[in-house]
Each structure stands twice: as C-alpha cells, then as structure tokens.
C-alpha cells in the first residue's frame, strides 16, 4: 500500500500514467540520471524558500568546488538582477573530488548506478553545490558525458531557492540524460524566479 502510494506520487509528478505499479515507463524514468535534490520536499518553515525570508539582500555567497571552463556559470539573464558570487571551498583542487559519502549527508552513488545522482545543491543560505566526481563531465558533452554548465545552471536554481519543475523542458526539471545541453530558461523557470524575487 505504501509502495503503491509512493509510485503514484512519482508517476503524477513526472506526468506518467498513474497506475501505482512499477511499469516500464516508470522504470525508464527512474533510470534517467538526475539531480540529487528530492522532487518533493517537506521543508520546515525556517528552511523553505520564500520571497520574503532571506531573499531581501539579493546577494548570495555560494561555494563552488570546481572551476568552470568558460568562466563562472550564470543564471540566464531576465529582467531581474540576481547577484551571486563563487568562492573556492578548498585550498587543494584534489580535495574537490566528491565521491560517495562526502560528509554532507547526501552521498553520491557513483557512475552507472541505477538512478544515477549527478549533483546536488542546498537551498539558501547554505549556498553549496556538489558534483559527483565519478560521473563523466564535459563543457562539450558527447552522448555518454554530462554537460557541466547545464547541471550548474540547474543547481544554481536550487541555490536561489527553486525546487524541481514538472516541465520536462525546464532547467529545473530533475532528470538530464547524458549528452543533453539545457542552458536556457523556460517560462516555468522564469515564473519560479519571479515568485521568489518579486518586484
């Protein structure tokens, strides 16, 4: 009964046929590599992103443990000016390789795992995001690699307070197959930012 309910919730979120059964479409969706942030969260009122809590300054201090090939990834521009900075989280670049259990309570599962977790981020004001060093990253991915910038833009969305989207075209959609480049905001992404950062 609990498993059936969980499957129905998953199927509804991903706009699959809601059967409550572990059917082939559900399994196929579960196998797509994804962000490690949960799709449905039960955040407390003190940690849940809101437009009125910690977003007043519009300046975030975030930690990135990787250098990006073409400079700092930016949340694509919109009419809202969001300012954030990156600072190094480690002195030695070798310390940046995060694999498995890396001390934040959100262990990575390694390359080629079922339901491969690629990266995760923490909502404001923690400001950290991590990539799984076991996955194959590239700024120009082939069909077996993951696009570093696409995943960074997604994780920055979490750093800004966005949750996962049900729109499969959105940057904030949880799943991203290898070889996919997704760097442009959709209307759903923009609406989420506008809800968190109103005029």
Instruction: Give the residue ranges of the annotated binding site for Zn(2+).
Output: 35, 102, 104, 120, 130, 154, 158, 164, 172
Annotated binding-site positions for Ca(2+): 109-110, 117, 132
Whose tokens are 């990787």? That residue is 66
SS3 of residue 173 by DSSP: strand
Annotated binding-site positions: 35, 102, 104, 109-110, 117, 120, 130, 132, 154, 158, 164, 172
Active site residue 4: no
Enumerate long-range contacts of 38-41, CB under 8 Å, 24 or more apart.
39/10, 39/13, 39/163, 39/164, 39/174, 40/9, 40/13, 41/163
Q: Would you mind telling me the total number of residues written for the chain in this entry?
A: 199
SS3 of residue 20 by DSSP: coil
Nearest to 151 by CA among 35, 62, 31, 14: 35
Would you call 161 exposed, middle or buried from its count of C-beta atoms within 10 A (0-12, 13-18, 19+)?
Answer: buried
76 touches 170 (CB < 8 A) = no
Tokens of 3: 């498993």
Q: Which of 4, 95, 155, 163 is catalytic?
A: 155
Cα distance between the two ends of the chain:
45
73 touches 156 (CB < 8 A) = yes
- The catalytic site residues sit at 155
């Amino acid at each position: 009964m609990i498993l059936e309910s969980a499957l129905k919730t998953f199927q509804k979120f991903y706009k699959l046929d809601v059967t409550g059964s572990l059917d082939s479409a559900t399994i196929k969706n579960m196998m797509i590599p994804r962000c490690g942030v949960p799709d449905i969260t039960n955040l407390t009122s003190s940690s849940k992103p809101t437009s009125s809590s910690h977003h007043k300054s519009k300046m975030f201090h975030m930690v990135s443990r990787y250098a990006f090939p073409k400079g700092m990834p930016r949340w694509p521009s919109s009419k809202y000016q969001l300012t954030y900075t990156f600072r190094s989280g480690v002195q030695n670049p070798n310390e940046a390789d995060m694999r498995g259990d890396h001390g934040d309570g959100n262990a990575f599962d390694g390359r080629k795992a079922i339901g491969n977790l690629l990266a995760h981020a923490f909502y404001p004001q923690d400001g950290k995001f991590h990539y799984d060093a076991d996955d194959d990253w590239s700024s120009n991915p082939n069909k077996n690699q993951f696009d570093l910038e696409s995943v960074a833009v997604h994780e920055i969305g979490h750093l800004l307070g966005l949750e996962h989207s049900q729109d499969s075209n959105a940057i904030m959609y949880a799943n991203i197959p290898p070889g996919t480049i997704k760097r442009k905001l959709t209307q759903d992404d923009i609406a989420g930012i506008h809800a968190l950062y109103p005029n």
